[in-house]
């Protein structure tokens, strides 16, 4: 469930950037079976053809934010901590 919530939040963020439906589907396909949230690629960099892993910020018992060290993108990802 946690990975589904992270993927949904990042897919929603990607949609807000104006990505095409094909780009969103590629991102969903790439992230669908990930088990470790730390391996999620940045959605913006992914659309640009790069695989930059996101850094997750933890706040108490929650993952609060995902950030990309390369493009400096930040997304709210309010999901329970593993």
Kindly tell me if the per-residue pLDDT of 38 is higher than 90.
Answer: no
Is the pTM higher than 0.85? no
The domain limits of the chain are 2-80
Share of the chain above pLDDT 90, in %: 46
Higher per-residue pLDDT: 37 or 5: 5
- Predicted confidence at residue 1, as pLDDT, reads 58
Q: Is 23 helix (H, G, I), strand (E, B) or coil?
A: helix
10 Å Cβ neighbour count for 9? 18
User: pLDDT band for position 70 (50/70/90)?
Assistant: very high
Whether pLDDT at 82 is above 70: no
């Amino acid at each position: 469930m946690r990975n589904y919530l992270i993927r949904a939040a990042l897919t929603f963020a990607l949609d807000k950037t104006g990505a095409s439906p094909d780009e969103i589907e590629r991102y969903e396909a790439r992230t669908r079976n990930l088990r470790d949230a730390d391996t999620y690629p940045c959605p913006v960099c992914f659309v640009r053809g790069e695989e930059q892993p996101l850094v997750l910020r933890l706040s108490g018992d929650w993952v609060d934010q995902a950030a990309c060290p390369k493009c400096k993108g930040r997304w709210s990802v309010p999901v329970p901590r593993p």
